[in-house]
Structure 1
Amino acid sequence: MKNVLSNTKKVILIVATMATVMGYANEISLTRYGKDLKSTALTIENVKEGNLLFIKDVYGSVLYKEVIEQTGLYTKGFDLTALPDGNYSFELEKDMEIKTMPFTVDFKEVTVNENQETTVYKPHVDQKDGLIYITKLAPAKEPLAVKVFGLYDNDSELLFSETITDTQSIERIYKLEAGRYKIVFSTNNKEFTKFINK
């Protein structure tokens, strides 16, 4: 009976999460406007104060960074034609996810690559009763590499490493002794770091 309830809760959680994901599918849009259509308006629904907006080049270098100051609807105009020819992306970093919308600048013409828009779900770390809980949504069953480092004065030591694959709902529990730790997560060509003091 416990297994049935536990599995039912997991299914409800996954369905609720996927419904939320579907609800955010069209939350970022670009509209070209102005004389000669040089300016581009970026509109993002459902932003929260503290979210981060970036414009990055193909190498991941940050060309523009803004901290969202108001919850709700975000709209801002950009002259993307001022960028050199190449591939770029808008990246919106929220609490639990990073949404990326790629675009290309070619001879002062901006093309939005909507079919290449992606969402990466960030790992979530929680401490409770001396245990470390790690959860992450991985809709495409993308792997998550986890490395746990012990921090000692000015030195660190790799204590544990694993790569989790073939699951859409990643859930792990670690028991760590008292001390200072750094947990490094790698997924979708992105790296996330969490520091823990126990």
Structure 2
Amino acid sequence: MKNTIRNTKKGILMVALLATVTGFANNAKRDAKKTAVVIENVKEGNLLTLKDVYGITLYKEAIATNGIYKKGFDLSELPNGDYLFELEKDLEIKTIPFTVSSNKVSFNKTDESTYFKPYVREANGLVYVSKLNPSSADTTIKVYAIDIYGESRLSFTEVVENSQIVEKVFKLEKGNYKIEIHSDNKEYTTFINN
């Protein structure tokens, strides 16, 4: 009788151990499909976005801590095609493109790029616009005056060509303004109320 109880306990223990090992193996298989995304020098509040080739946002996350961002993504489940991670910081946007083909994910470091956002600030009736532009791409600046009905009227426009640094200062009268800056196939809009 004692041997039967002892053997039954051993059998139950072996079944429990086998179930645990099988569970770990299944998790390992799922985790093996995940792609580790590691990005250095992030700050709390930076925005990480996963987009498809058409610019449709598939995933968005605000970074919670400063330092190094690490996360596993199962990118192999995406349909075949081109995608990108976009990390939006205070004054720059870094793009990390990748391709999914037959459930295989490939990143190409040489295709990574960084775009610099314009910096617009208002002080003492002057509006300062500056933008780092290493590619010397044409940069269009448009200033719209907004009336009390919300209608906007173009007050100023300028195209800055072949310049790696864009710096402009505007003296604006009291009122509401919209400033649009077009550069690197992106548009940035800022509203000024002075």
TM-score by length of 2: 0.81
- Where does residue 179 of structure 1 map in the other structure? 175
User: Partner of 2:192: helix, strand, or coil?
Assistant: strand
Separation of aligned partners in 2, 1:58 and 1:156: 33
In the alignment, does 2:151 pair up with 1:155? Answer: yes
1:37 Cα deviation from its structure 2 partner:
4.8
Amino acid in the other structure paired with 1:93:
E
Separation of aligned partners in 2, 1:67 and 1:144: 29
Match of 1:190 among 182, 186, 191: 186
User: Partner of 1:115: helix, strand, or coil?
Assistant: helix
Deviations 1:45-70 (Å, cap 9, x if unpaired)? 11111100000111111111001111
Amino acid in the other structure paired with 1:166:
N
User: 1:35-184 to 2 correspondence within 5 Å?
Assistant: 37-152=32-147, 153-184=149-180
Report the RMSD for the aligned CA atoms in angstroms.
1.6
1:150 Cα deviation from its structure 2 partner:
1.2
Unpaired runs of 5+ residues, structure 1, are 1-32
Separation of aligned partners in 2, 1:154 and 1:135: 26
Separation of aligned partners in 2, 1:34 and 1:40: 13
Amino acid in the other structure paired with 1:132:
V
Separation of aligned partners in 1, 2:32 and 2:134: 37
Amino acid in the other structure paired with 1:117:
E
Separation of aligned partners in 1, 2:30 and 2:123: 57
- Where does residue 16 of structure 2 map in the other structure? none
Unpaired runs of 5+ residues, structure 2, are 1-27
Sequence identity (%):
51
User: Partner of 1:41: helix, strand, or coil?
Assistant: strand
1:35 Cα deviation from its structure 2 partner:
6.1
1:71 Cα deviation from its structure 2 partner:
1.1
- The structure with the larger Rg is 2
- Where does residue 24 of structure 1 map in the other structure? none
Separation of aligned partners in 2, 1:123 and 1:50: 18
